[in-house]
Amino acid sequence: MLDELAEVAENTEIPFTPIAGKVLTILHASAPDQSGGYAVRAHSVLKTIVAKDFEVTALTRPGFPEAANSLEPGATAEEVHDGIRYLRLGSDSARANGEFTYMREAIDHFAEVIRRERPSAVHLRSTYVSALPGLIAAKRFGLPVVYEVSGMWELVYEAANTARMEGRRARTVVLENAVLEHCDEVVTITEAMREIISGRVRTRRPIGIMPNAVDTTGFTSAEKNPQVLSRFGWSAHDPVIGYIGTFVGYEGLDILVRAIAIVRSRGLRVRALLVGDGAESARIRSLAADLSLDESTIVFTGRVPHEEVSDLYSVIDVCAYPRLLTPATRAVSPLKPFEAMAAKKSVIVSDVPALAEIAGHGERGLVVPSGDVDALAEAISTFIKDPTSTRTRVEAAAAWTESERSWSAVGAVMGSVLDRLMS
């Protein structure tokens, strides 16, 4: 596959007449079948491209979504979601049965969709499993390509620190580097990620930053919802510490639960609302029980429909993101802090670089050492004792989110990239 990439990058393209202003985006996964951070960001980016007057078609990887995709190999089915046209693609193989065979098949399927859709540019998103076949297919037609790097699996493999994962990490680096080197443009989500990429390869153009952002119209300051308070048996005067997101080990939710227990032991009245689900859910719930934090103190809602999130945000006073430091969290920023800032919530984050960058290193939110339970407990206690002390940060965060981290502002980056590619 790497040999073919080198060959198509040098050879003349297949005769092809693209449609001016049309973009084909190739995705690993998407809404509405997936609702995680990858799919949410992808959908938001696509909407910004459409808002810049480009015509967009989003093609998901072969076989996605696995549980519901019964299409014949290479066949496509259209699904329009929230104004974005998604194409599902049938597959004859599964990645689990052999990554090379799966990716090899994807090249021809992607090429056929390109031939039919006739885009003027191809937009790839992480990771190489979809991006490398997509790049080869695009270059068969001589099309310009932008690669949007929102995550790197090799950073996750590095954190595992095992011989097996080191082999996987090394192979992934080679394949990702090939995509990065051959794409016409590269954009990524944080300064830390840009530094990693710049330290590994020489890209054709300077790497652009297209950070995570938020639809600020969907998250605004609101009075505490009385129905939610009644449901939990809480008063509007109770300070509430909240977390909304995925329950995985690197989010440091055990640190948050232990900090809440310390604050309670000091005689400070505090409630906690933890919204979401994931691999660590059972362990975190068990830890809360072991620390004698009952349902009157800490509420676990599990996964909730998206339309309920704003009501839950309304009762939260402080959103905490005590992420642990790993190679991946150093460089990858979550979406949720932007929602909290737009909703004018006080924010406490750990000092992992991607989060500290969001918090303005203390200007827009409190920053505490990663993994430090006592420091987090002290930050929570400070808010409870003097809630007005963080008001300046809250206002600064809301203003910054509106001007610098709304999707309309961030979308200008991709618009400029696509204009260059199509000029």
Q: With CA atoms as reference, report the closest residue to 107 among 71, 79, 139.
A: 139
* pLDDT mean over 168-189: 96
pLDDT tier for residue 213 given thresholds of 50, 70 and 90: very high
pLDDT at residue 163, as a whole number: 86
Pick the range with the lowest mean pLDDT from 3-17, 133-147, 253-267, 289-303. Answer: 3-17
* pLDDT mean over 295-316: 93
Would you tell me the crossing angle of helices 191-200 and 163-182 to the nearest 10 degrees? Answer: 90
Residue 11 has pLDDT above 80, yes or no: no
Q: What is the pLDDT of residues 128-178, one digit of tens each?
A: 999 999 999 999 999 999 999 999 999 989 988 888 899 999 999 999 999
- In this structure, which long-range contacts are made by residues 132-135, counting pairs with CB atoms below 8 Å and at least 24 apart in sequence? 132/1, 132/5, 132/103, 132/175, 132/178, 132/179, 133/1, 133/103, 133/104, 133/106, 133/107, 134/26, 134/106, 134/110, 135/5, 135/179, 135/182, 135/183
Q: What is the pLDDT of residues 25-69, one digit of tens each?
A: 999 999 999 988 899 999 999 999 999 999 999 999 999 999 899
pLDDT at residue 91, as a whole number: 94
Residue 12 has pLDDT above 80, yes or no: no
Q: What is the pLDDT of residues 312-338, one digit of tens each?
A: 999 999 999 999 999 999 999 889 999
State the CB neighbour count (10 A cutoff) for residue 404: 12
Tell me what the pLDDT averaged over the chain comes to.
94
Q: What is the pLDDT of residues 224-242, one digit of tens each?
A: 999 999 999 999 999 999 9
- CA gap 214, 234 in Å, rounded: 29
Instruction: Yes or no: say if 131 and 147 are a contact pair by the CB < 8 Å rule.
Output: yes
- Residue with structure tokens 């809630």? 387
Q: Is 331 helix (H, G, I), strand (E, B) or coil?
A: helix
Q: Is 114 helix (H, G, I), strand (E, B) or coil?
A: helix
Residue 389 has pLDDT above 90, yes or no: no
Ranges of beta strands (E only) in 165-234 are 185-188, 208-209
pLDDT tier for residue 85 given thresholds of 50, 70 and 90: very high
What is the sign of the dihedral through the CA atoms of 3, 4, 6 and 7? Answer: positive
Q: What is the pLDDT of residues 253-263, one digit of tens each?
A: 999 999 999 99
pLDDT tier for residue 105 given thresholds of 50, 70 and 90: very high
Instruction: Yes or no: say if 150 and 188 are a contact pair by the CB < 8 Å rule.
Output: yes
**% of the chain with per-residue pLDDT over 70:** 100
Q: What secondary structure letter does DSSP report for 97?
A: G
Element (DSSP H or E) covering residue 74: none
Residue 405 has pLDDT above 70, yes or no: yes
Residue 354: partners with Cβ closer than 8 Å, 6 or more residues away: 190, 192, 329, 330, 331, 332, 333, 334
pLDDT at residue 75, as a whole number: 97
Q: Retrieve residue 420's tokens.
A: 């260059």
CB-count exposure of residue 80 (10 Å: 0-12, 13-18, 19+): exposed
Residue 233: partners with Cβ closer than 8 Å, 6 or more residues away: 296
Element (DSSP H or E) covering residue 173: helix 163-182
pLDDT at residue 242, as a whole number: 98
Instruction: Yes or no: say if 24 and 130 are a contact pair by the CB < 8 Å rule.
Output: no
